[in-house]
A and B are shown apart, each in its own frame.
Chain A
Amino acid sequence: MKEGEMIRALGEIRDEYITEALPEKTAPRRKKKVFRWIAAAAACLLLGLYLWPYLPFGRLENRLLMAAGRSHLLSWQSNAQEFAILPLGENEAEYYRVYSGSSGAAEGKDLKPFIGELYLQKDGRSFYRVKGLTALNYLIGESREGGMVLWTFHSFCNGSWTFGQLWKAVYGIESADDIKSVSTSCFPRDNTDSGKKAQKSMRMVKLTGRDDITRFYELFKDLNAFESFSGLSWDYRQTLDRYPYSFAVRDDAPDPEFQEEMMGERVLTVSSQDGTNFDGWIYTAPYGLLYHADAVSAQLPEDKAAEAAALLGIR
């Protein structure tokens, strides 16, 4: 069987499996007019609240993404449909183009006001820093077709690196002094009613004290990380010993193991001294692993994992 014929053969599976997995309920539902008006009013209110941060005094990142055509109201993606390999620090990094909407065809016409200094030229294409952003997690550069689009840092390209190196090269964080705060939030993987109740019981913290931030930085800065695609990080995780942390899973949890996994995880938001937030870090205490995009860290030793869990309010 040639490559591609697997997909073709799969295409002929029974109808029942296709309809069973239909991504959305396609039949439009009839609603009474009054509900439509209420829904419209609620939508306007939500839209107003949603757009608030994108007004000129909103966060730079939000305004930037808005200008790039990416909106949380639309489906969006920054995936490898187009990527660029660019030098970054002592390594090379993979940047993904930020797409917007279902078409994935956003042209960043409104990005002009955000174009800062030239970062580099590669293969005849120019990439610019974002004006007002010291970090290199976003760049504005030419797409394959030639228009200016937004690019976001995805990962270093090869080998392994430390999170300290990543923080320094991408975010300009060279020491704990460059970090203003570290906040934790829930990774809401369990969206069942039981899972939502469990989320409310989870403790979240915001580290602002210098000692806590230094401990945080020291714990993770020398931790090695490597890129891991398509679930390979889960293969890797299965080879590791799970530390003996247990969490009080609710009695009504439909999948206790899954809920416990959620309770042992935190999404981390690191804020630098200039007020820029860096999202997307996930720490899982039972395995002592830190994830960022498709990168996963080496396992923290048990004593350090316990220290990290205590610091981040997980245990």
Chain B
Amino acid sequence: MDDREILKQFEKRSETAIEACTEKYGRILSRIAFNVLGSEEDAEECVNDALLRVWNSVPPEAPADLAAYLCRITRNLSIDRLRANKALRRGGEILQAETELLECLPARDDVEQELEEKEFTALLDRFLEGLKPEARKLFVRRYWYLDSVRQIAKELGVGESKVKMSLLRSRRALREFLQKEGIDV
């Protein structure tokens, strides 16, 4: 079933929509949740919560990109759950990913006042727009999907060193980009 048909099923309030989402996107949603939470049980519950959230929000919402919509909700719910569980110490890839990204962050405490989160996301969008597609894909796989370097390398059929190198370059580029945007790094 294609995404347009799935959305129609949501509009009709047909549970077929949930079944279709599970069949089509269940694996990737579970993977995102597991990457964040490091627990299969928690991940499964998160995916169920995400599907319920979509059921309750569509309609009235009509996402233009169902895959991204589902993935984003799952990711956000998983992060919420991780924090709620106070499980950061036991977290999976998210801890490593955060550590790697922290080097790009300004050290000042008042940055939050300078830049609202939406503005910061807009900056990230502009940064990603400037990356080459391959580098962007690796960056998003690592820091959005929170896949491990090994997993990315394996699935893309490249060496781990190439993935690490690309991520290193992208992080450096992000740091420079933020500096140019006036963020005091």
A interface residues with partner B (beta carbon < 8 Å): 1-24, 26-28, 75, 77, 79, 81, 102-105, 187-191, 230-231, 234-235, 258, 261-262
Output the least CB separation between B58 and chain A (Å).
Answer: 15
* Structural contact, B158 and A22, CB atoms closer than 8 A: no
Known contacts: A1-B115, A3-B102, A28-B23. The answer to whether A14 contacts B125 by CB under 8 A is yes
Contacts of A24 in B (CB 8 A): 27-28, 155
* Structural contact, B159 and A7, CB atoms closer than 8 A: no
Chain B residue nearest to A291 (CB atoms) is B161
Q: Measured between alpha carbons, how far is A5 from B165 in the docked complex, in Å?
A: 24
Known contacts: A8-B79, A19-B67. The answer to whether A75 contacts B40 by CB under 8 A is no
Contacts of B141 in A (CB 8 A): 21, 23
* Structural contact, B155 and A20, CB atoms closer than 8 A: no
8 Å CB contact of A23 from B115, B118, B147: B147
Contacts of A187 in B (CB 8 A): 159
* Structural contact, B111 and A11, CB atoms closer than 8 A: no
* Structural contact, B161 and A189, CB atoms closer than 8 A: yes
- Against A, the Cβ 8 Å flags (1 = close, 0 = not) of B105-135 are 1100001100101101100110010000100
8 Å CB contact of B144 from A4, A21, A189, A234: A21
* Structural contact, A26 and B121, CB atoms closer than 8 A: no
8 Å CB contact of A77 from B28, B144, B150, B161: B150
Decide if B52 is an interface residue (CB 8 Å cutoff). no
Contacts of A230 in B (CB 8 A): 96, 99-100, 164
Known contacts: A9-B124, A17-B128. The answer to whether A258 contacts B98 by CB under 8 A is no
Contacts of B168 in A (CB 8 A): 231, 234-235
Output the least CB separation between A74 and chain B (Å).
Answer: 12
* Structural contact, B136 and A75, CB atoms closer than 8 A: no
Please count how many residues in chain B sit with their CB below 8 Å of the partner chain's CB atoms: 66
Output the least CB separation between B172 and chain A (Å).
Answer: 10
Output the least CB separation between B148 and chain A (Å).
Answer: 7
* Structural contact, B120 and A1, CB atoms closer than 8 A: yes
Contacts of B155 in A (CB 8 A): 23-24
* Structural contact, B164 and A231, CB atoms closer than 8 A: yes
* Structural contact, A15 and B65, CB atoms closer than 8 A: yes
Known contacts: A7-B79, A20-B136. The answer to whether A26 contacts B27 by CB under 8 A is yes
* Structural contact, B67 and A26, CB atoms closer than 8 A: yes
Contacts A/B (CB < 8 Å), 8 sampled: A7-B143, A8-B76, A15-B72, A16-B68, A17-B125, A19-B65, A23-B147, A104-B40
* Structural contact, B24 and A5, CB atoms closer than 8 A: no
Decide if B97 is an interface residue (CB 8 Å cutoff). yes
**Which residues in window 146-166 of B have CB below 8 A to A?**
147-148, 150-151, 155, 157-159, 161-162, 164-165
Contacts of B98 in A (CB 8 A): 3-4, 6-7
Contacts of B71 in A (CB 8 A): 18, 22
Q: Measured between alpha carbons, how far is A188 from B83 in the docked complex, in Å?
A: 39
* Structural contact, B133 and A20, CB atoms closer than 8 A: yes
Q: Measured between alpha carbons, how far is A23 from B23 in the docked complex, in Å?
A: 16
Q: Measured between alpha carbons, how far is A17 from B147 in the docked complex, in Å?
A: 15
List 9 other contacts, CB 8 Å, given A9-B120, A11-B75: A3-B98, A4-B83, A9-B124, A21-B136, A24-B28, A26-B28, A28-B23, A102-B40, A103-B34
Output the least CB separation between A169 and chain B (Å).
Answer: 25
**Which residues in window 61-89 of B have CB below 8 A to A?**
64-65, 67-69, 71-72, 75-76, 79, 83
Contacts of A188 in B (CB 8 A): 159
Contacts of B143 in A (CB 8 A): 7, 10
Contacts of B136 in A (CB 8 A): 17, 20-21
Between A9, A102, A191, the greatest number of chain B beta carbons within 10 A of the residue's beta carbon is seen for: A9
* Structural contact, A15 and B69, CB atoms closer than 8 A: yes
Chain A residue nearest to B183 (CB atoms) is A1
Contacts of B102 in A (CB 8 A): 3, 6
Output the least CB separation between B106 and chain A (Å).
Answer: 7
8 Å CB contact of A27 from B24, B100, B124, B151: B24
